[in-house]
Amino acid sequence: MAPDNGSDSVRSVARAFSLLALFGEEHPTRSLNELVEAAELPKTTVLRLIQTMGQLGFLYTRADGRYCLGPALIRLSRAVDLVWRLPQAADAGMATLREQSQETVNLYVLEGQSRVCVAQKEGPQNIRYVVPVGVPLPLWGGASAKVLLADSRPNLVDGALRAGNKDAAYRAWFLEELERVRRDGLAVSHGEREPGASSVASPLRAGGHTIAAVAISGPTSRFTSDRVAELAALLKDAVGRMEQSFAKDMKGEPPGVPWEARSAAR
C-alpha cells in the first residue's frame, strides 16, 4: 500500500508560504543564507522551494544573486487591494478622525490567532505611534485586541492568553476588560503591549457582528484621562458614520468589502 503523503504535501506548502513571509518592507530582497537562517530549514530544502516558486513566478532571482518576490504576486497584490480596499466614505472617515485627534488612526481585523492592521492614517505630529500594516500582532493586550476579542469565541480568548503566557490574575483582569467593551463599546490601553504607547478603540459593527476595530493611538504622555474622554467621543462619532457607510456599501455586496463575510465565518 502506498504511503499517504498528504501531511508531507501540507508541510511543503506551509514551508513555501513561510519562506514568502520572510520578505517585506524591511527585507524586500534576501540572500540564500538569509533565507536558510531565517526559515530555520536545511539549505537543500530552501533551494528546492526557491526553484519551485521561481518556476511559478512567486520568487525571482536578481542579477546580483539575491531573491525577491516574483511577478506572479503583482496580480495577487492587485486582487488583495481590490477586496481589502475601504469604502471611500470609511477611508475619508479615518482621515477626518486623524485630523480631529492629531493622532494615528488604525483599523484592525482578526486574522487567525492574531490581529492585523489593514488600514492606517499616520498622525501628523513628529512624535507619533504607528504599526506595520499587514503584520500579525498579538491578541493578549491592547485596546484593539480587546475590542476584537469581546465579540469572539471563548476559545480564541483562551488561546490568546496562553500565547502570551498570562497568569490567572491577568486573565481575570482581561475578562473584566472584555466585559467593559461589551458594556461601553470602548476599550482603552496604556502600555499593555508596548511601554509608552496608548490607544482608544471602538468596534466597527455590521450585520450584528464586530467586523473590525478602529483605534486612535499615540504616546502615553498625551493620553491623559481628559484627553482619552475627548478621543473616545470623537471615535464613537466617527465609527457611527463609518458603520452607516459599510451598511450602505454591503447592500450591493461590492468586491471591495470582505469584512461581513469574514465576520460571519467566525
pLDDT-above-90 percentage for the chain:
67
Say whether both 158 and 260 belong to one domain: yes
- Per mean pLDDT, which of 81-95, 150-164, 248-262 is the most reliable? 150-164
CATH at residue 33: 1.10.10.10
User: Is residue 70 a part of any domain in this protein?
Assistant: yes
Confidence of residue 249 (pLDDT cuts 50, 70, 90): low
Say whether both 248 and 164 belong to one domain: yes
Closest CA to 32 of 68, 73, 85, 83: 68
Report the greatest alpha carbon distance in the chain.
71
Say whether both 259 and 161 belong to one domain: yes
Q: Nearest-5° angle of CA 220, CA 224, CA 229?
A: 120
Where helices occur in 151-207 by DSSP H, the ranges are: 154-163, 168-184
Structure-model confidence comparison of residues 69 and 87, the more confident one: 69
Give this prediction's pTM: 0.73
Decide if pLDDT at 265 tops 60.
no
Q: What is the pLDDT of residues 224-241, one digit of tens each?
A: 999 999 999 999 999 998
pLDDT at 258: 54
What CA–CA distances, in Å, run from 204 to 43, 212, 214, 229, 237? 45, 5, 7, 19, 11
pLDDT at 84: 72
Q: What is the pLDDT of residues 21-35, one digit of tens each?
A: 899 888 999 999 999
Q: How many CB atoms lie within 10 A of CB 127?
A: 9
User: Is residue 222 a part of any domain in this protein?
Assistant: yes
Average pLDDT (182-188) is 95
pLDDT-above-70 percentage for the chain:
89
User: Is residue 80 a part of any domain in this protein?
Assistant: no
Number of domains in the chain: 2
Q: What is the domain range of residue 135? A: 85-265
User: Is residue 1 a part of any domain in this protein?
Assistant: no
Say whether both 147 and 176 belong to one domain: yes
CATH at residue 212: 3.30.450.40
pLDDT at 251: 53
